[in-house]
Chains A and B, each alone.
Chain A
Amino acid sequence: MNSRTGAFVISDDTTALTDLSEKALLESAAGFNEKALSELYDRYEARIYSYIYRRTGNETLAEDLTAQVFLKMLEAIRSDKAWHSSFSGWLYRIAHNAVIDYYRLRDRQQQVSLEDTLTTTASDHNPVVMAEDSLDAERLRTAISRLTEEQAEVITLRFLEGYNISEVAEMLDKTEGSIKALQYRAVTTLRQLLQHEGFH
């Protein structure tokens, strides 16, 4: 993470926001500074989009949910419920919740079994990816959505987004030990879930 130390004074006419530290940028964004928000958006939009895409395998859905995540970010700033520690971890959590909400809503609407979900999403959402990656990807996604919130976050950040243990620990504001424990529980649960569904 690009965190430089030192005080940064941000004014409305700041031009080189890209050079600013994350901290200064976030402070500025929290004050609804347009340039800071724009820069923040540029820095995180692609990451959040890819996170959601990997979780859902659906391009349009990922775009919509990404937009929602950033809108939620604004609402959180407005109501003073913004990030306290790691911004990226906070934003990923919003993204994660958006995905979970989506899955919950869909499951409630469709009232289908895991297996049904797998086949419908497989054919509905992204046939190209499905054809390339086999059914496993979708099964894996659905299985991840069955994990506890924390476990799913760790799995996604660790294995779908490729952050290492210490990075995930920083993002989720936890110790490395607890991330390792979460990871362990997550992979064993995943294994069981997928075994149950015939994953090999």
Chain B
Amino acid sequence: MTVDSSLFHSDSEDIVAQAIERVEAGESVEVVLATVPVAMHAELREILLLITATHHLQRAPVPQPAAPQRAARKAAFLQSAAQMKADMVAAEAARVAAQRSQTQSLVADWFQNFWSDLQMAFAAPNLRLAPLLIILVAVWFGAFGFHTVTQAAGIGDLAYPVKQWINHQAINLSTKEARAEIYKDKTDELVKDLTRAAARLRAEAKRTGHKTALVSTEELIFEKTAGDSLILGPLTVMMQYQPDPNVDVYTTTYMLRMPSAEEQVEVTFQIIPTEDENAEPPFITQGITLTVPEIQLEIGPTPTSEPTITTTATPCAATQPMGWVPASILPGDTLSDIAVRTGTSAAQLQRVNCIDDANQIVSGTKLFAPALKQINTPTATEQVDLKVTLTAISTTTVTPSINITATMTVVPTDTVVITPTGKMITATLTAEATTTITASVETTATVVGTPTPALTGTVEAIGTMTATMTALATVTDTVGPAAGTPLAPTLPLTATLDAETTPETTPTATKTTTKTATADGTVTSPTPTPSATASATPITEIVETPTPAPTLTPTPEALNTIDSRVEEATPTTETRQGRLPTATSTPIPQNRSPLPGG
């Protein structure tokens, strides 16, 4: 009986397995049961019902996580993998280097382990300061030696990790403004440390006839690539390294991705003394691993690392660069305004004009700014100033949000710049032969108290200088939107500028010019907003309408400056023709800067 039972048991496994497979294949439980010994029916029936239940579970749809979530998890996984690999490579490189140089004693190892343990113990953000406090307490009690020793420590020295940590905390805990300076100090010091270390390595190599490398890990700011190297703060780091500095075999630096400019990176590198003892710097730096930490400290612009310049500080004297002209500062002008007008950067203006404080410029005074390029044909030297002011309100809940003031200087077959007199837009017009002007408008603008729209658009002038400017305003910044006045994230604005000119080629003042100018502004807003179109003419006031307004083409005579303004938008189709703008005929000298003066 026992034998039978065990046989039965062994059979049972097969019978159950077969029965399950048949049910899985789609046979009904009853049909399957009919083919097995009756003694097993009760048990098998329940088992098969159980299997059916599991199938039900199997068939139940599995809700899939959202795609962005999945992507984020995958990215996190790959990031972990990269970190692990970087750690392994760095650890291996450090191990090999340590083995080779054998400079560290057991005491040093113990000290380093102790220090990293200490750091780990205080890894929580609120305790991050604790080791520093310990140091401070130590200093407090007269143990100045410790701090002095750590700060004097060179790379490879016993106390160097402590010094690195203190430096890291100094940057970490300082204000954003102070960081750049501290960073500069630390990197200068790093170069000195590395130079000293290189001298030591060189001496050692002479003594032993065997080159050694020194491995270190630093946090630096990536500036740019230069050939096969990366410029990291003051260091030029090769994107490969020699696992053995005595053998010309190179391994590529491990990095997950190339950092972008101004990104902080954690780089593990080795230095090898250069062949030439007097080289500057006297060592080559080879990158082993490079990672970009997820948390980036705001350190601000990398200070220029040119000690020769910083040490021999000469008083700054403004010199006029080629192609620059003196230009007047208008009331309310900021350096950025002038930079926008003249197609340069505020920083460049500041540098050239030796302006210490960008906020301290005095209207009425002059500074050097780039002159506009003028490639005039002798027959067409007509210059037209168009001044367009568009003030559009799309709904009652949105305060005036677009305010474009542009002065357009048009010279056929020339490069023309639309220069705003306000802070709003800048546009570049490129005039090709036979007075066809095509230009793109691209700008960012700052409006105090309202979001900042960036305006892009095209300006075209064809034939008799008919220009169409389409500006698409996209809100890129949300600085200071007034409460309760949501601004449209996209404000497409169309402005058409028609200008018919009959240029006279007199090089002197008088010109006869006939122009018409219209401006169309379309403003849409995400709030329940009727999309509105505004038509602007040289006539002062235009009223926005929900449908495109008829283009108005008045022809002010002999105008060099046309003021056209689109003011308040109301949902009515109403066009008010106001007074003609004051027409001023200002002969514009050639080669003048867009700024008055010069």
The chain A residues found within 8 Å of chain B, CB to CB, are 32, 34, 37-38, 41-42, 45-46, 49-50, 53-54, 59, 63, 66-67, 70-71, 74-75, 78, 129, 132-133, 136-137, 140-141, 155, 159-162, 164-165, 180-181, 183-184, 187-188, 190-191, 194-195, 199-200
Q: Is A162 a contact of B43 with CB atoms below 8 Å?
A: no
Q: Is B70 a contact of A37 with CB atoms below 8 Å?
A: no
Residues of B within 8 A of A54 (CB): 57-58, 60, 62
Q: Is B63 a contact of A59 with CB atoms below 8 Å?
A: yes
Residues of A within 8 A of B380 (CB): none
Question: What's the interface size class on B, roughly?
Answer: 35 or more
Residues of A within 8 A of B85 (CB): 32, 34
Residues of B within 8 A of A159 (CB): 51, 54-55, 57-58
Q: Beyond the given A54-B57, A141-B57, A159-B51, could you list 13 further A-B residue pairs with CB under 8 A, ordered by the A residue number?
A: A53-B62, A54-B62, A59-B65, A63-B69, A67-B77, A71-B77, A129-B60, A137-B57, A162-B58, A180-B17, A181-B13, A183-B17, A188-B43
- Name B80's contact: one of A74, A136, A165 (CB within 8 Å): A74
Residues of A within 8 A of B77 (CB): 37, 41, 67, 70-71, 74
Q: Known interface pairs A159-B58, A161-B58. Does A32 touch B84 (Cβ–Cβ under 8 Å)?
A: yes
Residue of B58, B69, B88 with most partner-chain A CB within 10 A: B58
Residues of B within 8 A of A140 (CB): 50, 53-54, 57
Q: Is B170 located at the chain interface by the 8 A CB criterion? A: no
Q: Known interface pairs A165-B17, A188-B47. Does A34 touch B81 (Cβ–Cβ under 8 Å)?
A: yes
Measured CB to CB, the nearest residue on chain B to A52 is: B62
Q: Is B17 a contact of A160 with CB atoms below 8 Å?
A: no
Residues of A within 8 A of B559 (CB): none
**Nearest CB in chain A: distance from B272 CB, A:** 25
How many contacting A-B pairs (Cβ < 8 A)? 109
Residues of B within 8 A of A165 (CB): 17, 21
Q: Is A160 a contact of B70 with CB atoms below 8 Å?
A: no
In angstroms, Cα B69 to Cα A59, docked, is: 12
Q: List 25 A-B contacts (CB under 8 A).
A: A32-B81, A32-B85, A37-B77, A37-B78, A38-B78, A45-B70, A45-B73, A50-B62, A54-B58, A59-B65, A63-B73, A67-B73, A67-B77, A137-B56, A140-B57, A141-B57, A159-B58, A165-B17, A180-B17, A181-B13, A183-B17, A184-B13, A184-B16, A187-B51, A190-B50
Q: Is B74 located at the chain interface by the 8 A CB criterion? A: yes
Q: Is A155 a contact of B54 with CB atoms below 8 Å?
A: yes
Q: Is B14 located at the chain interface by the 8 A CB criterion? A: yes
In angstroms, Cα B17 to Cα A38, docked, is: 37
Q: Is B479 located at the chain interface by the 8 A CB criterion? A: no
Measured CB to CB, the nearest residue on chain B to A132 is: B60
- Name B60's contact: one of A38, A66, A137, A161 (CB within 8 Å): A137
B74-94 CB mask vs A (1 if < 8 Å, else 0) is 101110111011001000000
The chain B residues found within 8 Å of chain A, CB to CB, are 12-14, 16-17, 20-21, 43, 46-47, 49-51, 53-58, 60, 62-65, 69-70, 73-74, 76-78, 80-82, 84-85, 88, 256
In angstroms, Cα B326 to Cα A74, docked, is: 64
Measured CB to CB, the nearest residue on chain B to A129 is: B60
Q: Which 5 A-B pairs rank lowest in CB-CB distance, beginning with the nearest?
A: A159-B54, A32-B85, A184-B13, A50-B62, A180-B17
**Nearest CB in chain B: distance from A116 CB, A:** 21
Q: Is A184 a contact of B58 with CB atoms below 8 Å?
A: no
Residues of B within 8 A of A78 (CB): 84, 88
In angstroms, Cα B85 to Cα A199, docked, is: 50
**Nearest CB in chain B: distance from A197 CB, A:** 12
Measured CB to CB, the nearest residue on chain B to A133 is: B60
In angstroms, Cα B46 to Cα A38, docked, is: 44
**Nearest CB in chain A: distance from B440 CB, A:** 37
Measured CB to CB, the nearest residue on chain B to A183 is: B17
Residues of B within 8 A of A66 (CB): 73
Q: Is A187 a contact of B58 with CB atoms below 8 Å?
A: no
Q: Is B78 a contact of A34 with CB atoms below 8 Å?
A: yes
In angstroms, Cα B577 to Cα A188, docked, is: 94
Residue of A46, A74, A155 with most partner-chain B CB within 10 A: A74
In angstroms, Cα B489 to Cα A17, docked, is: 43
Residues of B within 8 A of A42 (CB): 74
- Name B65's contact: one of A41, A49, A71, A188 (CB within 8 Å): A49
Residues of B within 8 A of A74 (CB): 77, 80-81, 84
Residues of B within 8 A of A181 (CB): 13
In angstroms, Cα B20 to Cα A165, docked, is: 11
**Nearest CB in chain A: distance from B486 CB, A:** 34
Residues of A within 8 A of B56 (CB): 133, 136-137
Q: Is A63 a contact of B43 with CB atoms below 8 Å?
A: no
Q: Is B62 a contact of A49 with CB atoms below 8 Å?
A: yes
- Name B53's contact: one of A59, A71, A136 (CB within 8 Å): A136
Q: Is A191 a contact of B78 with CB atoms below 8 Å?
A: no
Q: Is A67 a contact of B76 with CB atoms below 8 Å?
A: yes
**Nearest CB in chain B: distance from A61 CB, A:** 12
Q: Known interface pairs A32-B81, A63-B65. Does A183 touch B58 (Cβ–Cβ under 8 Å)?
A: no
Measured CB to CB, the nearest residue on chain B to A138 is: B57
In angstroms, Cα B52 to Cα A190, docked, is: 13
Measured CB to CB, the nearest residue on chain A to B86 is: A32
In angstroms, Cα B575 to Cα A62, docked, is: 64
In angstroms, Cα B63 to Cα A132, docked, is: 13
Residues of A within 8 A of B80 (CB): 71, 74
In angstroms, Cα B58 to Cα A191, docked, is: 18
Q: Is A38 a contact of B88 with CB atoms below 8 Å?
A: no
- Name B50's contact: one of A133, A184, A187 (CB within 8 Å): A187
In angstroms, Cα B65 to Cα A183, docked, is: 31
In angstroms, Cα B74 to Cα A42, docked, is: 9
Residue of B55, B76, B81, B88 with most partner-chain A CB within 10 A: B81
Q: Is A180 a contact of B63 with CB atoms below 8 Å?
A: no
Residues of A within 8 A of B58 (CB): 54, 159-162
**Nearest CB in chain B: distance from A55 CB, A:** 10
In angstroms, Cα B169 to Cα A167, docked, is: 55
Q: Is B63 a contact of A187 with CB atoms below 8 Å?
A: no
Measured CB to CB, the nearest residue on chain A to B82 is: A34
In angstroms, Cα B46 to Cα A179, docked, is: 20
In angstroms, Cα B88 to Cα A54, docked, is: 36
**Nearest CB in chain A: distance from B88 CB, A:** 7
Residues of B within 8 A of A132 (CB): 60
**Nearest CB in chain A: distance from B291 CB, A:** 13
In angstroms, Cα B173 to Cα A46, docked, is: 43
In angstroms, Cα B68 to Cα A78, docked, is: 28
**Nearest CB in chain B: distance from A163 CB, A:** 11
In angstroms, Cα B47 to Cα A45, docked, is: 31
In angstroms, Cα B73 to Cα A63, docked, is: 9
In angstroms, Cα B239 to Cα A40, docked, is: 28
In angstroms, Cα B383 to Cα A167, docked, is: 83
